[in-house]
Structure 1
Amino acid sequence: MKKKFLFHEKEFICGWSAAATNIVITYPIQKMSAFQVLFNENIIRASQCIFRECSVRSVYRGMLPPLCQKSISISCMFGFYNNLNDYLQTRDVKFARYWSGLASGSMESTTMPFERMQSILINKNFNKKYKNMLHIMLKLRKEYGIKEYYRGFSIIFFRNTMGNICFFTLKHECDFYITNNFQVPIIQSGAQFIYGGLIGSMLSTLFYPLTVLKLTLQKQVGGKFLSPLKTARELYSDGKN
């Protein structure tokens, strides 16, 4: 007898809440990292550029796009994955976790325009040209068309799909190990929290070159869409020199 599929909305809510909290707390650090990539600055110079005005408004300039993007994408990542995985397993579909990871990563990629807006807002070269996220969206659409929202899409799509497949595959294996080796609920929760952080950190480090490549592709507004492979070669050559 096949299991009955039940929709779980709590995964969407928890994913959204966790992502929103994460962005509000860690945004200044993410901004420093982006400054280092965009302007080839060390961490001290990047922090000076960001905190120079010593105001919350300047530090958190450009936070709305990642707040929208991350909260929606992480909500989709966990909610869509868990519900689709449960559904596919009730149908005895092979490799359900892999298909679910691929599908949830694809869903995440639909929020890419928010990442595009963020890359422009954190670039100090555009501070005077663009005021906020809405202003950027209207200007880009008017001057360059909708396609400008999706500059660097292939890199983001690859990162999201492969990242989700790796994350949920490792998470499943760790869940299985913890459930079979720890019986106390509080210990299970603590272990899951720790390994979740470790898996996330490991994958973030592994896929970080794609983030660098994405920021490099998106620092341009208008003009020819550059090849990710060619840009990666140029970055590698610049790094060696």
Structure 2
Amino acid sequence: MAIFKHLNREEYSEFVCGCGAAIINIGITFPINKVIFRQMLHGMALRHAANQLFSEGFRTLYRGIGPPLLQKGISTSLMFGTYDAIQKPLLNTNMNVTISKGIAALMAGTAEATLTPFERVQTLLQDNHYNKQFANMRDVIKVIATKYSATEFYRGVTPVLMRNGPSSTSFFLLRETANKYIVLPPNAWAGFRVIKEFLTGAFIGALNSTLFYPCNVLKVHMQSSLGGPFISIRQAAIDVYKERGRKISYFYRGVHMNCTRSFVSWGIVNLAYENLKNVIKKN
């Protein structure tokens, strides 16, 4: 894209800080995410999902971390970097500030959907039904690439698109609103800034994760299949509805743990991002 051809050092730093923040976050929160995944896939209670992972042992606890580490590193880099790269030219056209930032955030989130193959591979690695079939990320990629078409990597892309664009828009607009109205005095204790940055990301992340949780449930349901016909998001919703006792509330099985994970995760991302940006500015 022409918009990325003339980025300066400060603009490139947005990509670097986003990537660094994601890597720090994934290393800390991956075990929690894996418990949530089992709840999404099997509709099981928190205690049963945690016991299942515990019984499998520590050796498999970080099994599947490769795809999210790559996917989140790149996607969060794209999220922050693309948002910054797109919104500045739009603002220079005298477009309404809120509209320009909303468009930039929506495009940044949509761009992340190109990384759906990482989520696809992660789903298969975290599903215990494939524990014996796949040893690692390389195995999954090799099987999909040799035995199936390239479109198999993008199974479940529709709920990803439904989640990414709107959630990124919500994140950036709410984040900027919080930064605008929650202003600390110049001589405030440094700890207050840390708390502010963590809680800003944490509350927005928790809100978004709850609002878009059903999209993740549908994505996991669609991506847990390997081969065979692709189902529509409507059919996926019907399948999950029937499998879970025809109760809409069961679409939110695991939402509490997911909300907690997102609270911690996005708090870490926002805090790490802001601090990495400060470090780069000083150097």
Q: TM-score, normalised by structure 1?
A: 0.90
Once the two structures are overlaid, the 10-residue window that deviates more, 211-220 or 45-54, is 45-54
In the alignment, what sits opposite 1:164? 168
Match for residue 107 of structure 1 among 91, 107, 111: 111
Q: Which amino acid letter does the alignment assign opposite residue 191 of structure 1?
A: K
Q: Which is bigger in relative contact order (C-alpha 8 A, separation at least 6)? A: 2
Q: Deviations over 1:80-133 (max 9, x none)?
A: 102221222122234211110111012111111000000000011111112211
In the alignment, what sits opposite 2:95? 93
Q: Which amino acid letter does the alignment assign opposite residue 223 of structure 1?
A: G
Match for residue 84 of structure 2 among 68, 82, 85: 82
Aligned-residue CA RMSD (Å): 1.9
Match for residue 210 of structure 1 among 210, 215, 218: 215
Q: Using a 3 Å threshold, how does the CA distance of structure 1 residues 53 and 124 change in structure 2: closer, same or farther? A: closer
User: CA–CA distance in 2 between the matches of 1:70 and 1:99?
Assistant: 22
Unaligned runs of 5+ in 1: none
In the alignment, what sits opposite 1:190? 195
Q: Which amino acid letter does the alignment assign opposite residue 19 of structure 2?
A: W
User: CA–CA distance in 1 between the matches of 2:144 and 2:111?
Assistant: 23
Match for residue 52 of structure 1 among 51, 55, 58: 55
Question: How do residues 10-159 of structure 1 correspond to structure 2 at under 5 angstroms?
Answer: 10-55=13-58, 57-94=59-96, 95-159=99-163
In the alignment, what sits opposite 2:241? 236
In the alignment, what sits opposite 2:270? none
User: CA–CA distance in 1 between the matches of 2:42 and 2:171?
Assistant: 31
User: CA–CA distance in 1 between the matches of 2:226 and 2:85?
Assistant: 38
Q: CA deviation at 1:52?
A: 1.7
| 1:225 partnered with 2:227 | no
Q: CA deviation at 1:190?
A: 3.4
Unaligned runs of 5+ in 2: 1-6, 248-283
User: CA–CA distance in 2 between the matches of 1:146 and 1:58?
Assistant: 28
Q: CA deviation at 1:68?
A: 0.5
